[in-house]
Amino acid sequence: MSNLAIDVSDVVKSFPAGDTRTFALKGATLDARFGELMMIVGPSGCGKTTLLSVICGTLQCEEGTLTIFDRDLRKMKDSQITRFRCENVGFIFQQFNLIPTLTAVENASIPLVLNGHSQKESLRRAGEVMAEVGLGDKLHSYPSQLSGGQLQRVAISRALVHEPRLIICDEPTASLDAAAGQKTLDLLKSSALQPDRCVIVVTHDNRIYHFADRIAEMEDGRVIGIYEDPKDYHHA
């Protein structure tokens, strides 16, 4: 097995805009390694989220190659991609997307239920993961009863509960204050990052750049630079 978890090369993705098409990705190339927290940064509209969507298989690209864990996503059927995502990808969304009518532990258990585990077993395992992220006393709280930081920790629990190999984070600190954002990244790095796992974070919050192992800078649908040391990006 190669050390590359993700290998994206010359990916093109466009969207219809009236009679023409708008190109969100114009040949983006990126790789991410196992055991690495890779941040994708850049100005709004540069294609960060589109690239993230293509990597996790929620969007299909038109050109280029896309290899995740040595599997060519472009050659997989929709149902295979859905199955692949279910088993291998954990999601942390900007708006958390926790179902408001489910308790924290029920929300965190969803990926396990989707993977065919029993509800009882899923709740037990989700409770353990929530305890690991410091929310052992909030298992039965509803999202409306939790703070922003706590919500993000529930979201992290949900992303980790089924032990996926790829964690996708879309602006994980956008809805949090500075302190909560730092704690979230601390937690993400300590809990999520494993030698056999890769974490991709899309952000433009420069206060968390130092958590990255590498930073990919995007502009106008392309990756224009990859920085081995986050400090280099700061100084660039």
* CB contact burial 74-86 (16+ within 10 A = b; e otherwise): bebeeeebeebbe
Minimum Å gap between C-beta 164 and another protein is 10
Of 54, 74, 57, 56, the residue nearest 65 (C-alpha): 74
**Strand pairing report for 71-72 and 20-33:** unpaired
Of 14, 82, 182, 194, the one binding another protein by CB under 8 A: 82
Of 157, 152, 158, 160, the residue nearest 185 (C-alpha): 152
Interacting residues with another protein between 161 and 190 (CB under 8 A): 170
| Residue 52 binds another protein, judged by CB under 8 A | yes
Of 86, 131, 174, 193, the one binding another protein by CB under 8 A: 86
Minimum Å gap between C-beta 59 and another protein is 5
Interacting residues with another protein between 94 and 123 (CB under 8 A): 94-95, 97, 99, 101-102, 106, 110-111, 113-115, 119
Closer of 12 and 102 to another protein (Cβ): 102
| Residue 141 binds another protein, judged by CB under 8 A | no
| Residue 46 binds another protein, judged by CB under 8 A | no
Chain centroid offset of residue 112 CA: 17
Interacting residues with another protein between 192 and 231 (CB under 8 A): none
Of 10, 29, 35, 59, the one binding another protein by CB under 8 A: 59
Of 130, 121, 59, 67, the residue nearest 98 (C-alpha): 130
Furthest-apart CA atoms within the chain: distance in Å: 54
Chain centroid offset of residue 185 CA: 12
CA distances in angstroms from 209 to 37, 43, 171, 183, 227, listed in the order given: 10, 14, 12, 13, 11
**Binding site residues, another protein, CB under 8 A:** 49, 52-53, 56, 58-59, 79, 82-83, 85-87, 89, 91, 93-95, 97, 99, 101-102, 106, 110-111, 113-115, 119, 170
